[in-house]
Chain A
Amino acid sequence: MRELVARYLSQSISRRTFLKGMTSAGFSLTAANGILESLIPVAHAEDGAAAVKVVEGTGAECFAEQLVASGVKYIFGNSASEDAHFYEALVDRPQLKYILTPHEGPGAAMAAGYVKASGEPTIVMQAAVVGLVNAMGQMFNAYKEQTPLVFYSYRTDQSGRAGRDGFEEVANQEQIVQPMTKYSWLARRPDMIPETVRRAFKAAWTPPHGPTYASWHSDYNDERVRAQIIRQERVDPRMRVRPNPDEVQRAAKLLVEARMPVMIVGDEVYNAKAIGRAVKLAELLGMPVTQARQIYASYPETHPLWVGALPVGRLSSLDYPKNPDVVINVGNKLQHNSPNPMLGGDLKFIDMRIDSLSMGNIIPTDVPLVADVAHGLDDLTAAVQQLVTPALKDKAAARADETRRFHEKAKTLRDLVMKSPDWNRAPMIADRVTREVAQFADKDAIIVHEAGSVALHGFEFDPERGRDLFFYYGAHLGSGVGTAAGVKLARPNRQVICLVGDGSFVFGPTALWNMARLELPVITVVYNNHAYSGPHSRVIEKVPGGRMVQTGQFFHDYLGNPDMNMALIAKGFGVEAELAHSPEELRAALGRARKSTADGKPYLIDAQVARVGVAWADKPWTPPIRVAQERTRKV
């Protein structure tokens, strides 16, 4: 109750959430309402006073107060002795929940997962530069994927040790992160801690989103100061931009006059909760919809205008339509992995995004629409509606009909994957594991996907009414398990399934311990082929017919001999787990996983997957390094 009152008074939760929490805690609705009524005068007083207030206390207390004012509920951190006064401040601020993560990387991934799934702010804390560099892999991911994640770590104390190249000190610590943050800053005095924190949150959460970093000398946390604390809504520029109306008219004209328009969707659609708007525009024009690789599924894959994701990141790789003349991108960053542009040929390009910095850099743009895509879609749809004539309606209907026929045919053809002659083999092919999980998953399951060499099929993602996807494209590996833990923390009432490759899994399994401790019932399925199969194939493509292939000596890809047992690793972190070798074993294991999660416990399945690819041997060669044999003393 104490915590609920504190959170209500700090405006961390709504009246409704307060009442729900109180009734869950055993209070009757009448009693909860009575308590709420008694709090209203206090809340109003706080409302006026606490939007901007002056706090006296240690620098760390001011830090904590500003986090509350910035809307933070969860803090993800790894132990840092110089943050002692901050931990002290937490004791009397139960509305701030500190989650100890045993490694900064998966800890930051967990924070990022929480931010993505909740839309709520959080902060990742590390010990000085030594902890920071552990977290920087996920900082890179947050930068590439435009996740608004705030990082903090202290520098060596100003009063005693700074500048001597001593313990845990490096020069210009804040500069290390500059290429992969939107903002990195150093508080110059203890009383500037709240201001620095505010700026970090403002920069991270002002579109286009991205990570930020704040730092100060550790002894600033210990000093007593008087500082202003300002709530987020008083510093947030509320950047929800409408597009230029002239450009909207140009875009609408291009779309209605198009022979075959195509829409590419992306993460900004998901983040703006604008999927319904994207569907409306597509339906109005009978326009096929696709998506280049992003984090989320931003269009219902069951919708008849959905023609599938771009298979190799190029529009021309789509089977349908083959001849678009106008392309509109709504909210996709269009990250290029090839020297060639994703869009080629003679077509008109409309680019609607809030991320103006990345527009027009690679693909020549006919109509730029810098906007919050929810507003942009509303305005563009209205403009198109103004231009639609009966003849254009007929044209759109015919296009929609043709697209629907392709959609249905494509679904049938995709399901042919189950006709593989290896469908029932053990160890399993990855496609079998995928399809078993797709058939097992709840209709509104959330799939966290970090199995980079695995293409998902059979899930039919539909974020607004069905299954949700959390993929990645930052590609610092080891994010999957942490992300899944963070997603479950944010959405405890949805089934969360983490699909992860063995290579990715061993980069970041420590969040399993958080799943066990916090009772985050996530199901993790490891595709374990004891190899880095992506790098294996790419190396051969770069050196076809070379010495590696001739001799079978691949130095970089085989993770067996000895095989890693992911189930035993999970058990070491307190998560129940098992191996599954065959489709039958996998199905049975998934049943046990469902029961375990219903009981509130996470579960891991180490699914044994066949190594498939050019030049894989049954027992791959490993470099002949055996130190024990070279010893002269048996010690």
Chain B
Amino acid sequence: MLKFGAAILGAALIAQPALAQQKKPAAVGFPDAPGKEVLVSKCFQCHAPTMWMDLRQDRRAWESTLYRMVGRGALWTQDDIRQMADYLGNVYGRKQ
């Protein structure tokens, strides 16, 4: 998995929106850690958990991913992004 580098969650959104909306995704597989609440409230608005399942990257790359979501219309504060990047870098960081 390490060879797969920087990632984006939502490249599909513009071409095929709302597929992730068919069911309300539950936060299954998302361990409790600081920032989880922000992540679930912000990201699940558009994404199904399958968007996360295969992605492991460091915090900086997660931060970049989150800013790409801003480019797609996500209205988040820098503090929201910081908390989500912390959580994702911690829980979905690169495997050692």
Contacts and interface: CB of A to CB of B under 8 A. Distances in A.
Contact of A337 (B18, B53, B74, B78): B18
Interface stretch (A154-162, A377-385, A509-517, A529-537): A529-537
A457 B16 contact: no
A253 to B, nearest CB: 32
Contact of A429 (B9, B22, B68, B77): B68
Contacts of B13: 311-312, 455
A455 B72 contact: yes
A619 to B, nearest CB: 10
A544 B17 CA distance: 18
A319 interface: yes
Nearest to B66: A420
SS of B interface (majority): loop
Nearest to A309: B73
B14 A340 contact: no
Given A453-B11, A544-B53, A617-B3, A340 B60 contact: no
Given A337-B16, A455-B73, A312 B63 contact: no
Contacts of B45: 311, 317
Contact of B64 (A311, A414, A422): A422
Interface in B1-58: 3-22, 45-46, 48, 50-51, 53-55
Contact of A538 (B16, B53, B55, B60): B16
Interface in B75-90: 75-78, 81
Interface residues of A, number: 52
B64 A413 contact: no
A290 to B, nearest CB: 11
A419 interface: yes
Nearest to B59: A421
**Contact-residue bracket for chain B:** 35 or more
A313 B7 contact: no
Interface string A517-558: 000000000000000011011101100110001001000000
A430 B45 CA distance: 23
Contacts of A540: 50, 54
B11 A534 contact: yes
Interface in A301-352: 308-309, 311-314, 317, 319, 337-340
A252 B16 CA distance: 35
A533 B11 contact: yes
A533 B7 CA distance: 11
A614 B18 contact: no
A453 B14 contact: yes
Contacts of B5: 616-618
A311 B74 contact: yes
A452 interface: yes
A11 B65 CA distance: 57
Contact of B75 (A410, A455, A536): A410
B46 A317 contact: yes
A612 interface: yes
Contacts of A314: 17-18, 21
A421 B67 contact: yes
Contact of A419 (B18, B67, B72): B67
B22 to A, nearest CB: 6
Nearest to A453: B11
Nearest to A612: B8
A455 B6 contact: no
Nearest to A455: B72
A625 interface: no
A549 B17 contact: no
Contact of A617 (B4, B55, B68, B72): B4
A429 B72 CA distance: 13
Contacts of A454: 14
Contacts of B46: 311-312, 317
B12 A338 contact: no
Interface in A415-455: 416-417, 419-422, 429-431, 434, 452-455
A552 B54 CA distance: 12
A419 B64 CA distance: 9
Given A454-B14, A612-B6, A413 B77 contact: yes
Contacts of B6: 422, 610, 612, 616
14 contacts: A308-B73, A311-B13, A311-B73, A317-B46, A338-B19, A340-B18, A410-B75, A453-B11, A534-B16, A540-B54, A541-B12, A612-B7, A613-B8, A616-B6
Given A612-B11, A614-B55, A618-B5, 10 more contacts: A308-B75, A313-B17, A317-B21, A337-B18, A337-B19, A413-B75, A416-B67, A421-B60, A453-B15, A534-B14
Q: Which are the 4 A-B pairs with shortest beta-carbon distances?
A: A420-B67, A338-B18, A431-B71, A537-B11
